[in-house]
């Protein structure tokens, strides 16, 4: 083998291994991370309790104090 071919082969192997590690990492990350929900986030104006409710709800009752709240906008 010529030195140029040997160097190219080493780089190709290293790049291929890095690609495989990236693919495995992304596969594991997607498998273990929770999926985002469509729920609205609410923050009570009275007691500052943060909670979620269904996406079709415009105003939700706080489970802590019972006050109706609008969705919290980030």
Residues 2 and 27 in one domain: yes
Number of domains in the chain: 2
Domain assignment present for 74: no
Report pLDDT for 68.
Answer: 92
Domain assignment present for 9: yes
Domain assignment present for 18: yes
pLDDT at 33 over 80: no
pLDDT at 74 over 80: no
Q: Give the range of the structural domain holding residue 47, as residue numbers without chain letter.
A: 40-69
Residues 1 and 25 in one domain: yes
Domain assignment present for 47: yes
Residue 59's CB: how many other CB atoms inside 10 A? Answer: 12
Residues 29 and 44 in one domain: no
pLDDT at 20 over 80: yes
Cα angle for residues 39, 43, 45 (degrees, 5° grid): 150
């Amino acid at each position: 083998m010529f030195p140029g071919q040997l160097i190219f082969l080493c780089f190709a192997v290293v790049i291929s291994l890095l690609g495989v590690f990236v693919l495995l990492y992304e596969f594991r990350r997607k498998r273990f991370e929770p999926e985002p929900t469509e729920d609205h986030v609410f923050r009570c104006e009275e007691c500052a309790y943060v909670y979620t409710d269904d996406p079709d709800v415009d105003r939700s009752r706080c489970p802590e104090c019972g006050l109706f709240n609008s969705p919290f906008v980030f």
